[in-house]
Structure 1
């Protein structure tokens, strides 16, 4: 694998081949495009939560539901058991 000038050495621009420079430009362009898309998606998510709030939904609970649905069922059940154990130990349930 080519040395692209990590923390140990700094490569001078002339030491990179034309092909390597082009690959670097392509990678940077892709990253920048993905960062723009990520921001756009984050804005869309924010607007969707605002819409949910305008419709009377509790966005804090909605976020919990989204987080809950991302979890594997077994992982979720294990967390619920531990949470219930802690609450029971604290006298909350």
Structure 2
């Protein structure tokens, strides 16, 4: 079984109106990933439904980047769009 190592580069806390906890995000890097994938990866502690009528939470399809700024932009875009609707914890 292969084991990939990631180094946590940044951690961020997001205060979302209506939630009694902080949403946490982090950006990690691994130099063991293929170059076409990019070595930067972001994750977030919770997911949300974009609308009341949505069938389930919105899970971003892209959570990696070839450069740190791309991963940071993805995390911040998701976090700034966060809604207090159908919030579920992630495997963070």
TM range (shorter): under 0.3
Considering fraction of residues, name the structure with more strand.
2
Larger Rg: 1
Q: How high is the TM-score relative to the length of structure 2?
A: 0.23
Considering fraction of residues, name the structure with more helix.
1
Flag the structure with more relative contact order, 1 or 2, with Cα contacts below 8 A and sequence separation at least 6: 2
